Amino acid sequence: MSLLVTGSIGIDTVRTPHGVSEDCIGGSAIYFSMSASFFAPVRFVGVVGCDCPFDIPEIFAGRNVDLAGLETRQTSKTFRWAGTYMETMDDRVTDRLELNVLAEHPPAVPKAYADSQFVFLANTAPKLQIELLDQIKNPAFVAADTMNCWITDYLDDLKQLLERVHCLIINAEEAKLLAQEFSLIKAAEKILAMGPPCVIIKKGESGALMCLDDGSMFVLPAYPTATVKDPTGAGDSFAGGFMGYLAETGKKDLGTLKTAVAYGTVVASFTIADFSLEGLTAVTRADIDERLEAFRQFTSF
């Protein structure tokens, strides 16, 4: 079924103990689309400035990504982010952040996308996420991401958004901040009470926790990998694998949601194995399915 993503396109510079990747392509919509396209056709909504050095149609060549929602704003500059990961890879600092075009009005959702059934609203101001969501007629399953600055400074907007989405996909630290609660299980319960019937808390190298409003729960470790070269994009790749599998099956029952979390985890494990999109572009759906089966073996008892 149709899957739409709204999110960022970025010019990233990433430093990790394994090297530096300068002015490479990044952004939530990019990682999400590359990941989701292994499973279902993706409708892409995002905006760059006139300085964008990337040939985005070329990047997605041969993949099922519809770029009718890609806008190039001639009077603006592209979003830029630079960050450095510490030696242990479990912490990072932002060296540079230029919102540029992301600080302006969001790109319009093409009319042809208004019937999208599965929708992912990547992290941005909750007011903009609502504005984007308003352009979709009757979606079957909407997931959203958010981050600490919106929780701290735009909580009322965020709460309005939470009443309208089916799933919040959020980092552990942000979940604790949003719920004002140290226990992740209790935090998930409090977030469920804010509206979404499904909450997924991403715990980085510790895996993910999914809680549903019917009391169902699902926990998975991260896929065990010896080498993490660049964790950038892991969360959006997770969301891409998760939403991609839901859109592929057209279902949202517990069993499908569980497998979708496992697919999201596996896709993210490919992303972090290399810089930028390189970990993802090298793999096939067969590689992903093979790793999913290995993951099932690694975690079943």
Give the 3-state secondary structure of residue 209: strand
Using the rule CB under 8 A, is 218 a contact of a second copy? yes
* Nearest approach, Cβ of residue 44 and a second copy (Å): 28
Does the footprint of a second copy cover residue 213 (CB under 8 A)?
no
Residue whose CB is less far from a second copy, 143 or 266: 266
Among 20-28, 50-58, 159-167, 226-234, which window interacts with a second copy (CB under 8 A)? 226-234
Q: Give the shortest CB-217-to-a second copy separation in angstroms.
A: 5
**Minimum separation from the CB atom of position 297 to a second copy (A):** 9
Distances (CA, A) of 289 to 142, 170, 286: 25, 25, 5
Interaction residues for a second copy, span 251-280 (CB under 8 A): 255, 258-259, 261-262
Q: Total number of residues binding a second copy (CB under 8 A)?
A: 35
Does 137 engage in binding with a second copy (CB under 8 A)? no
> With CB under 8 A as the contact rule, which of the stretches 96-104, 160-168, 211-219, 273-281 interacts with a second copy?
211-219
Q: Pattern 39-78, binding to a second copy, x per CB under 8 A?
A: ----------------------------------------
Degrees to nearest 5, angle at CA 170 with 165 and 173: 145
**Please, which residue, 157 or 213, has the CB nearer to a second copy?**
213
Question: What is each CA distance from 60 to 29, 43, 72, 109, 195, in whole angstroms?
Answer: 12, 12, 16, 19, 35
Measured CA to CA, the distance from residue 123 to residue 117 in angstroms comes to 19
Binding of a second copy at residue 209 (CB under 8 A)? yes
Residue ranges in 185-204 that form contacts with a second copy under rule CB under 8 A: 185-186, 189, 203
**267 and 260 Cβ atoms separated by less than 8 Å:** no
Q: How far is the CB of 140 from a second copy (least distance, A)?
A: 21
Alpha-helical segments (H) within 70-171: 126-133, 148-153, 155-162
- Indicate which single residue of 25, 36, 89, 165 sits in contact with a second copy (rule: CB under 8 A): 89
Identify the bridge partners of residue 25 per DSSP, sorted by sequence position: 11
250 lines the binding site for a second copy (CB under 8 A): no
Measured from the CB atom, the residue of 29 and 260 that comes closer to a second copy is 260
Q: Which is nearer to a second copy, 54 or 218 (CB)?
A: 218
The H helix count followed by the E strand count for the chain is: 11, 13
Decide whether 26 or 240 has the Cβ nearer to a second copy: 240
The DSSP 8-state label assigned to residue 110 in this structure reads P
CA 124 to chain CA mean position, Å = 12
- Helices (H), ranges, the chain: 28-36, 56-59, 126-133, 148-153, 155-162, 172-179, 184-193, 234-249, 254-271, 278-281, 285-299
**CA 144, CA 199: separation in Å to the nearest integer?**
10
Q: Which is nearer to a second copy, 103 or 217 (CB)?
A: 217
- Binding positions for a second copy, rule: CB under 8 A: 87-89, 182-186, 189, 203, 205-207, 209, 217-222, 224-228, 255, 258-259, 261-262, 296, 298-301
